[in-house]
Structure 1
């Protein structure tokens, strides 16, 4: 028999049904269009071009009337057919409607509806790649979940194998977006699914650049562990180190430098190194950190300027010592130029400033035997027992290079005769190993008790060079020792970094 039907939405404000009613011929079918009208503000106006691009689970009342006998079809069925008490057969039921499509999934991800997301993905046609759905701004579901800080949704989406290299309209991949947001768990999930750590072609910054700019140290660490190119260039030619300096992200700077980032790479725009940028910002801590890691302060940018020139241009006079005066002071001390030392100190050179190896001007003057320069520096208040990165004091340097007058001056000025290097070596041990009899006598007398009488100095035998084995205690008296020719040593002054020396006592 023909069947008359009428469809009535349970929520008439949200649905429009076409046709509203009609007659289905025996063994026939009918196509009905159900349009869902979005609540105000749910999606942009152009998000739902078709009714099947929405999603809602809803019941629609479907009254039906079986009509006995042959009848022609009607465009609309009179209402009394469904109300009159004739011999029709009435069936009322609800139809469950599920809408699928990109805007549906977008809204669900924004709402965080895990169960609904899974249901829609499972009911969607896999050929349409539903997990790669995008919103009206060109953001993928992975991008949206990242912006919502939802690693659980990201993990769910990854089960349906989305394209992890899919770029948003702005050009960023999901990994780039997650790195910029500092979403450590999401970054880890994407990396586990083989997301590329390199910058995408249309993106200005790669994952490593975004992490550095945002100061996301742990994300940066993850990327480096997965083999990210530490000196990869952003579109503007900056490295992650450049950008970390620009944003004053010191923790990221330290991590990058510790993992081998090159501090002398010049960017493509101005030819600036990270040191130029730090100097322009006037950040003394960053400047010193870069110098300690080997940054070359003499590199010139495209304008022909060094980092010192940039600092001076911007009025950062406190950087003049680190970038120029400190070098000049050490150079003057090394050459014994007393007047230059006087002038540099008066012009603001920091008396206790260090060079890239941790040496002060006193280390330099002592190693070169510049007695007058040593005296001038001490009179200007330099720290006599300052140690370099290997634990060497100026006295160690003077003893190693055999400058008796400087050793005597330093001892008279209160230098610590018992000071030890990082490997536990004293100045006296250096003098003995090199058979410097005169210096040995000065050091022993310098260690005398307060009554001024020379004393026997008892030193522990575990000397930290050679094979490192402990021996018995050795008494070293102030008896004259025969001086033997010292061995030439091509060192900058770090005695205990040379080949092991056998210590011989006379």
Structure 2
């Protein structure tokens, strides 16, 4: 026989250390003798680091006794220098107790005489194989930070599952998952997930592991967390959810994964923005397209300013995104909290090139058709494309001509409107004027450079500006135009309008 006492569950004792708590582990000694009690004494070589309770005692035949090994934190350092920390500095002395030596052979007190373990007449067994392994939150945190995969697994396997070691946190309130994510270690995340951590644990800042991974663009980690049923939507205490964080960072693949797993595409941040608002504000065009393809609502107004996605794109002068949103059917007439449309926002920020993209050509044509010269002037001054078209390909000049508004026609020609522009059916302004017998307007167009059906200008050399300064021509236009308008209003039902379906010879 080489020993009197067996160690349970093994000779490796896991000592759990936690900040602000007593650091200890337990070891069970079993007397392997069938008929005789056994005395023991367990001594740490480094008495400043460990104490044992009880340090000595007597165990009945085949009986057991559980000892408590307390670890004393070294001054100035909560942890030792290396991990996992093991120590062979325990000596276990055991000796058979004579039947008459003590009446109570089950005693576990520290009253066993020391000379029992030193008398040469007795057979004393000495075992120095007891090891200590430190486990607990600080150890696990350090191992994750160091990326020590094998040691990390060993500590988990040696830890009592009732401690929930996978839910350990550091001094900043970060879980092991958060730390692994910050280290960009999907392999460690996968290992941690084997030990079933709280996958929705919120750090002190309020973010879940999925939110942290999404904000870092960790595609593989996001996939792992989603495979373990992580919630793809914003947690209650977070300011931004996974899709908001992925969008802001421009992490397209992460965003795609989240949307595939059912993340709410229109979910709001705590301050009331959708992912679409954030995508446009951060110029994440790929993410914008992905959100729109997944049904993002373009009409949602954010909480602070009441801006829609179109307001944001207009403010930034992003013509490409403005056109995309318009293609998606966004309502360009929605006003924000200050009463501004997307057009107003674009104008306030000097984004002239957006005026036509925002389909202000419709308003321009409408003003020309109604003869609102002042409105036409304002739009021209704001930089609108003077040749912008409506859905039928009509420019403001076409509209002014068909409505018989000579003053607007005169203004448009003077400002450089294309007198030779054609509608979708190939009709020129002069053809409309001739078909409606607007001789005065026809003359304005001809002097502005319009060609006749013979493809030759009726007036070639006279400058348009000189024509407009000639009072006789003005009077002639006005005198002839008035009766024509009256005749036209009787001939046409509700409004003076050129019949766009009227067949004309296209020059």
| TM-score between both structures, scaled by the size of structure 2 | 0.62
Supply the distance in 2 between the matched residues of 1:406 and 1:398 (Cα, whole angstroms): 15
Match of 2:49 among 4, 16, 29: 16
Deviations 1:288-316 (A, max 9, x none): 44334333232122333333444455x43
Distance 1:26 1:396, change over 3 A: closer
| TM-score between both structures, scaled by the size of structure 1 | 0.62
Residue of structure 1 in register with 2:87 after alignment: 59
Distance 1:280 1:18, change over 3 A: same
Task: Confirm or deny that 1:35 pairs with 2:71.
Answer: yes
Residue of structure 1 in register with 2:355 after alignment: 321
Q: Please say if residues 329 and 361 of structure 1, whose CA atoms lie closer than 8 Å, have aligned partners that are also in contact.
A: no
DSSP-derived class of the 1:31 partner: strand
Residue of structure 2 in register with 1:243 after alignment: 278
Q: Please say if residues 334 and 361 of structure 1, whose CA atoms lie closer than 8 Å, have aligned partners that are also in contact.
A: no
Deviation at 1:241, TM superposition (A): 0.9
Deviation at 1:368, TM superposition (A): 9.2
> Which stretch has the larger CA shift, 212-221 or 271-280?
271-280
Supply the distance in 1 between the matched residues of 2:419 and 2:72 (Cα, whole angstroms): 84
Distance 1:222 1:381, change over 3 A: farther
Distance 1:139 1:287, change over 3 A: same
Residue ranges of structure 1 left out of the alignment (5+ in a row): 49-53, 386-392, 416-441, 447-494, 496-506
Residue of structure 1 in register with 2:200 after alignment: 165
Q: Please say if residues 398 and 406 of structure 1, whose CA atoms lie closer than 8 Å, have aligned partners that are also in contact.
A: no
Task: Confirm or deny that 1:294 pairs with 2:329.
Answer: yes
Deviation at 1:378, TM superposition (A): 8.5
Residue of structure 2 in register with 1:193 after alignment: 228
Supply the distance in 2 between the matched residues of 1:194 and 1:21 (Cα, whole angstroms): 47
Q: Please say if residues 321 and 353 of structure 1, whose CA atoms lie closer than 8 Å, have aligned partners that are also in contact.
A: no
Residue correspondence of structure 1 range 243-262 to structure 2 within 5 A: 243-262=278-297
Residue of structure 1 in register with 2:241 after alignment: 206
Task: Confirm or deny that 1:154 pairs with 2:189.
Answer: yes
Counting matched residue pairs gives 397
RMSD: 4.9
Q: Please say if residues 89 and 131 of structure 2, whose CA atoms lie closer than 8 Å, have aligned partners that are also in contact.
A: no
Residue ranges of structure 2 left out of the alignment (5+ in a row): 1-37, 103-108, 436-441, 456-500, 502-507
Residue of structure 2 in register with 1:490 after alignment: none
Distance 1:394 1:142, change over 3 A: farther
Deviations 1:57-86 (A, max 9, x none): 41322334456877898689989x87x988
DSSP-derived class of the 1:177 partner: helix
Deviation at 1:252, TM superposition (A): 1.5
Residue of structure 1 in register with 2:308 after alignment: 273
Q: Please say if residues 182 and 216 of structure 1, whose CA atoms lie closer than 8 Å, have aligned partners that are also in contact.
A: yes
DSSP-derived class of the 1:268 partner: coil
DSSP-derived class of the 2:131 partner: strand
Q: Please say if residues 7 and 20 of structure 1, whose CA atoms lie closer than 8 Å, have aligned partners that are also in contact.
A: no
Distance 1:228 1:19, change over 3 A: closer
Deviation at 1:181, TM superposition (A): 1.5
> Which stretch has the larger CA shift, 329-338 or 103-112?
329-338
Residue correspondence of structure 1 range 210-249 to structure 2 within 5 A: 210-249=245-284
Higher relative contact order (CA 8 A, sep 6+): 2
Deviation at 1:22, TM superposition (A): 4.8
Residue of structure 2 in register with 1:111 after alignment: 146
Task: Confirm or deny that 1:263 pairs with 2:303.
Answer: no
Residue of structure 1 in register with 2:44 after alignment: 7
Larger gyration radius, structure 1 or structure 2 = 2
DSSP-derived class of the 2:340 partner: coil
Deviation at 1:224, TM superposition (A): 1.7
Q: Please say if residues 44 and 90 of structure 2, whose CA atoms lie closer than 8 Å, have aligned partners that are also in contact.
A: yes
Residue correspondence of structure 1 range 335-414 to structure 2 within 5 A: 341=376, 344-351=379-386, 362=395, 365=398, 394-398=422-426
DSSP-derived class of the 1:59 partner: coil
Deviation at 1:344, TM superposition (A): 3.4
Q: Please say if residues 175 and 207 of structure 1, whose CA atoms lie closer than 8 Å, have aligned partners that are also in contact.
A: yes
